[in-house]
C-alpha cells in the first residue's frame, strides 16, 4: 500500500515539475516572439493567460480523475482485505471446533 502511495506522489510531483518547466518555456517563447515583433506584448499576455487557464482546467480535471481512481483502488484493496479476514475467521472457527472435539474428554 505504501509503495502505491509513493508512486502516486512521485507521479503528481513529476506532473507539477513538468508544468513549471512548461510555464518557463512558454514565458521564454513569448519574450522571444515579442522581441522578434511576431506578437505584441498585449497579445503575448493574452496568450499566456489563455494557456495558464487551460492548464488550470486540465490540472483540475486530472486531479479529479486521479482522486477518483485512487478512491476506487483503496476501496478494492479494503474489500480484498475484508474478504481475506472473513475467510481467516471462518478457518479459525473451524480449527477451534476441531481442537475442541479432539481434546474433549469422553464421558462414560
pTM, entire model: 0.46
Do 70 and 34 contact (CB within 8 A), yes or no? no
pLDDT, one tens digit per residue, over 1-20 is 566 666 666 666 666 666 66
pLDDT, one tens digit per residue, over 26-51 is 778 788 888 988 888 888 878 777 77
| Interatomic CA distance for residues 42 and 44, integer angstroms | 5
One-character DSSP codes across 29-93: HHHHHHHHTSS-HHHHHHHHHHHHHHHHHHHHHHHHHHHHHHHHHHHHHHHHHHHHHHHHHHHHH
Amino acid at each position: 500500500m505504501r509503495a502505491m502511495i509513493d508512486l502516486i506522489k512521485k507521479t503528481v510531483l513529476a506532473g507539477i515539475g513538468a508544468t513549471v518547466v512548461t510555464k518557463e518555456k512558454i514565458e521564454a517563447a513569448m519574450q522571444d516572439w515579442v522581441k522578434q515583433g511576431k506578437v505584441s506584448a498585449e497579445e503575448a499576455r493574452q496568450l499566456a493567460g489563455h494557456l495558464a487557464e487551460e492548464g488550470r482546467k486540465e490540472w483540475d480535471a486530472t486531479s479529479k480523475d486521479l482522486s477518483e481512481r485512487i478512491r476506487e483502488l483503496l476501496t478494492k484493496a479494503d474489500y480484498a482485505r475484508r474478504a481475506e479476514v472473513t475467510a481467516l475467521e471462518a478457518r479459525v472457527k473451524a480449527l477451534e471446533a476441531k481442537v475442541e472435539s479432539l481434546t474433549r474428554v469422553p464421558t462414560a
